[in-house]
Structure formats: C-alpha cells, structure tokens
Structure 1
Amino acid sequence: MTCFDRSDVGLLLLRLGTGGVLAAHGAQKLFGWFGGGGVAGTGQFMESVGYAPGKASATAAGLAEAGGGALLALGLATPAAGAAAAGAMAGASAVHVPNGFFAQSGGYEHAASLGLTAAGIAVAGPGRLSLDHLLGHTANRDWMVPVALAVTAAATLVVVGARTRRVRRAAEGEQDPLFEE
C-alpha cells in the first residue's frame, strides 16, 4: 500500500505546472530570462500601465511570481506562496481587464487562471508530495491560509487602487502627484 493517493499526485501536478509558469514569468521580470525585460525593462512597462515607481513595482511583481511560484512548485510555505502569487496575478489582471476576458485579445484570462489556481492550492494545501509535508507543516498551518490571503488581498487592493487612480488621472490629463516637480 502506498502512502500517496490521487489527490497528492494531482496537487503535485498543479503545483509544478502553476509554480513553474509563475517562476518563469518572475524570472523574466527580475533577470530578463526567457525574453523578459529584466527589472529595468519591466519597470518601464509597469510605469506605462500605471504601476509606479516602475522598478519597485517590477521587483515586487517579479519576487511574488518567482518566489511564490518556486515555493508553490516545492510545496513549501504553501499559504504564503499561493497568496503572493495570487496577489501578483490580481495586479496583472487589473492591467488586462479593459481588453476583456480572453487572452487572445489581451484579456485577463491567463493571469486570472494562474491567480485562482495559486489561491486554490493555498487553500487546499500542497498534499503529501511536498516539502511542507516533509517538514511537518511548520510553514503550512490552517490559520496561515486566511491570514496570508487577507494580508495579500489588503495589499493588492492598495496597490491596484493606486494604479487605478493614476490611470484615471492620466486619462483625464492630470499630473500624477508622484511625479510632480
């Protein structure tokens, strides 16, 4: 008899797939790997879509994606990893919402799918084929799930809200107070 069941294998596959994709996107932002812009190029893009300051925004998004993705893939600190990745994907979704749902039109489909999967893994747990399980779930306690998701939700609301106000001011031709001289 094996100590693993179908759900453990399924969670492993979800963690590896989602975590791997997130980590690769984070590596694009942080290091310029896989055709990415690195912090400088991603920072310029972040500023162009309303996230400022750009380099700090690129670094935060890159760390949430690369770190959250790697930790999800390993099944380590799963509540925090899933929450961080979900928050980053909520920020990405905000950029793509004006383009509708489908990714082929530049919509938020891909970011939302990654974010919801990461949040789902945070809630479900990593399964027994994980470092969290191997380490006795010291960084994967039940109370950590709502705390990690709530803290991330609050931070995401602040960041996306500031971006929304910045984009709205730019559309109305107003100067952003962050960049006033």
Structure 2
Amino acid sequence: MTCLSRKDLGLLALRAAVGGVLIAHGTQKLFGWFGGGGLEGTAKAMEHMGFVPGRRSAIAAGLGEAGGGALLVAGLATPAAGAVVAGTMAGAISVHAPAGFFTTSGGYEYPALLGACGLALGISGAGRLSLDEATGHRLDRASIGVFAFAVAALGAVSVVTRRQDVIRRREARAADEAASQVEGTGLS
C-alpha cells in the first residue's frame, strides 16, 4: 500500500469543509435544522426571491446543497457532486449579485466561493481517501464530469433566466399599479 500524499489529505480536508457547510445549509432549507426555515419557510423565501414555484425551488436548492455536500464529503461521484454544487450556487449568486461582490454588503462572495470549490473538486477528483477510490472510480470518470457540468450549466441558466423573467414581470406590474394609483388621484 502506498503512503497517502499531502494532496490526498488536503482534498479530504477541503471536501469535508465545503461539503459540511453545504450539508448544513441544505438541511436548513429541507428540515429547518440549524435555525433554518424548513421547506415551508424556504419555499416562501424562494418565491419572494423570484424562484417559482417556491416549494419545488426550495427542494431543489436544499437537495443540491445537502446532497452535493454529502457526495463531496464522501468523495463519491465527485464530478457530478461538483457540478451539482456549482449549479446550485449559480442560483444563489443570482440572488446576491445586485449587492456586489462582498458578503459584508450582502454580495455573492460566499456562494461564489462554494461554487468554485465544488467546480474545482469536480475537476480534480476526490483523492485516494474517498469512495470514488474505493469503488474503482466507477462514478468518477471524465465523461460523467463533462455530462454533469453541461447539465448543471444548462439547468443554472434556465433557473436564473426564469427568475429574472419573474422579477421583471413583478417590477412591471408594480410600475403599472403605481401609475394607476397616480392616475386615480388626478395627479398625472
């Protein structure tokens, strides 16, 4: 048996940290753990943010985070796990982007970092301390990675585009209502 390398230990530490954070966030959404809103609260929040329908969006985000995070921690199907995480974080980035980059102002820094870590792990692989290694890399192949990242990218574009459309329609409806109120007062 060969000795474990620093790279293998580093990948394990990174997978555990990133995956653990994602599991915590996902279980907040799905089950209300760690002070989260659970499915009901998350569904309302998702709907408010323009992700419709809210419940389905909450389930998808929660599973993307908790499931992708668990797969990263285990080092199983790492290319697919990285793609799921990157795609899920693209949705979160779309919410935070209007506030700029830095988290201190509500920006997208944190979900971008998690997404980039998922992307990097999906590309690099999990290392030897992983279920991918134990299963002979059956679910850790370049073709799986290419397919998973393509599906995740298409899904993220679809979700973010739909969200932007919902927000535009809401803003147009609010502007129309404001104009109607002004006309009703005779101030126009």
2:143 counterpart letter in structure 1: W
Matches of 1:146 and 1:16 in 2, distance apart? 24
Equivalenced residue count is 175
Q: Give percent identity, aligned residues only.
A: 56
In 2, Cα distance between the equivalents of 1:161 and 1:33?
30
Residue equivalent to 1:131: 131
1:158 corresponding residue in structure 2: 158
Q: Which residue of 2 aligns with 1:76?
A: 76
After TM superposition, give the deviation of residue 102 of structure 1 in Å. 0.5
Between structure 1 and structure 2, the one with the greater Rg is 2
Q: What per-residue deviation string (whole Å, max 9, x for no partner) do you get for residues 26-83 of structure 1?
A: 0000000000000100000000010000010000000010000001011001111111
1:164-179 alignment to 2 at 5 Å? Answer: 164-173=164-173
- CA distance in 2 between counterparts of 1:80 and 1:125 reads 10
Pairwise CA distance, 1:87: 0.7
| TM-score of the superposed pair, with normalisation by structure 1 | 0.94
The Cα shift of 1:2 comes to: 4.3
Q: TM-score, normalised by structure 2?
A: 0.90
Separation (CA, whole Å) in 1 of partners of 2:45 and 2:151: 26
Which AA in structure 2 matches 1:21? V
Counterpart CA distance in 1 for 2:116 and 2:168 is: 27
- Which consecutive residues of structure 2, in runs of 5 or more, have no partner in the other structure? 175-188
Give the AA of the match of 2:158.
V
- Which stretches in structure 1 are left out of the alignment for 5+ residues? 175-181
Moved over 4 A (4+): none
